[in-house]
Structure 1
C-alpha cells in the first residue's frame, strides 16, 4: 500500500480556495472545475471565437520541474477529451490510487508464487527437477551359452571361412555376352553412329 501522503487530498484552505474559484460569477472568464491529488487544477471557459463553445484546460502545479514529468490520471484525461461529462471527485481519485496499489501488491505476490515453482526452463543451479538418467530402450544382453552351443558356433564359423577360401580359388568365368546386344544389331541402339552425308546435284524439273 502506498503512503497516505501520496493519496491525501488538499487541505481546508485550498479546498476553500477551490470552492471560491468554482463559482460561476458573471465577471469571471474561467471557472475552476477541480484538481487532482498532485495539485494540478482543471478549468473551463467559454471560447468566444468558436461560437461560445466551452473549452477545458489544465494548469500544472508550480512544483513540476518540467511538463514531461506531469502525469494526468485517466479520469481527468477523459474529462479533458469530452468523453466524461462530470469531473472526478477527490474521493474517486483516492480510491483509484489505492486500487492500483493493491493491484501491484497482488501482482507481486503472484510473481513470487510463480517463481517459487521449479521449471525446466530454469538454470541447473536452481531447483530444477533432475532429468531421468540411465533409461535405455535397448534389449538386455542374452545369457551366456553353454559349452555345446559354443562348439556349434565355432564350427559354423570354420565352415563359412572354408567356403570363402574355396570361392577365391575357383577360376573366374569369362564375361558373358549381353543377350540384348544380338537383338539390337538390326536396329539403332546405343552403339549406333550416324554416317557421313554429302549432298548431290539437285534434279531440274
Structure 2
C-alpha cells in the first residue's frame, strides 16, 4: 500500500522535479526518465536496481530494454510483462517436447543394433534354399490369405556340377593365370 502510494507520487510529472518514475518490472527494478542536459529534445532513460545486487546480476527484460533504448515509446505494463512470462514458459514446454521427439528418433551416428554378420565364404556349394535360410530378409513376403500357401519353386541351376565337386576348384582350373605372381624388379644397366 505504502509502496504503491510512493510510486504514484513519484510518477507525477511536477514541474520542479528533475526525474520521473515511469514504471517497474517484476524483479523490482525501477525505470526513470529525466531531462538530458546535452540533448534537450528528449529525456534520458535509466534503470535503478537494488544497491545490494551486483551489477552483473541485474536482469532487464526485452520490453524494458526496448524502452530504455528509445525503440519503444511507451513503457510495458505489468500485464504485458506477466503475459511475456507465460509465453516464455510455453516456449520452454514446446522446446522440451521437441527435444524429446528428437531424442526418440534413431540417429545415424548410433551403432546399428541389428547388424548382420559379414558373409562367410565356405567351400561347400550354396543353393537358393540355404541362402534364404541364412538371410530371412530376402524371403518373399507371405500372403495374408489363409487359403493360399506358398509353393516351393524349383531351383534352376545354370551349371550342373556334381554334388561332391567344389565350384571354386573348377574356376581355378579354367583360369591359367590364377597362380601368377609378379617378379621382383631388376633394372637394366645404364647404357
- Residue 10 of structure 2 corresponds to residue 21 of structure 1: yes
Q: Could you state the TM-score of these two structures normalised by the residue count of structure 1?
A: 0.56
Shift of the 114–135 alpha-carbon distance from structure 1 to 2, 3 Å rule, reads farther
Contact (CA 8 Å) 1:34, 1:42: kept in 2 or not?
yes
Structure 1 gaps of 5+ residues are 1-11, 161-190, 192-205
Shift of the 63–15 alpha-carbon distance from structure 1 to 2, 3 Å rule, reads farther
3-state DSSP of counterpart to 2:85: helix
Contact (CA 8 Å) 1:75, 1:88: kept in 2 or not?
yes
3-state DSSP of counterpart to 1:99: helix
1:77 to 65, 74, 92: 65
- Residue 46 of structure 2 corresponds to residue 61 of structure 1: no
Q: Hey, what does 2:87 align to over in structure 1?
A: 99
Q: Hey, what does 2:19 align to over in structure 1?
A: 30
Q: Hey, what does 2:188 align to over in structure 1?
A: none
**More deviation in 18-27 or 33-42?**
18-27
Distance 2:163 2:60 in 1: 92
Contact (CA 8 Å) 1:120, 1:129: kept in 2 or not?
no
Shift of the 18–140 alpha-carbon distance from structure 1 to 2, 3 Å rule, reads same
- Residue 130 of structure 2 corresponds to residue 130 of structure 1: no
The structure 1 segments of at least 4 consecutive aligned residues displaced by more than 6 Å after TM superposition are none
Larger Rg: 1
CA shift digits 1:17-65 (9 cap, x unpaired) = 222110001221100001111111000011234335311111112352x
Q: How many residues align?
A: 137
Distance 1:26 1:51 in 2: 15
Higher relative contact order (CA 8 A, sep 6+): 1
Contact (CA 8 Å) 1:46, 1:54: kept in 2 or not?
yes
Q: CA RMSD in A?
A: 3.5
Distance 2:9 2:163 in 1: 113
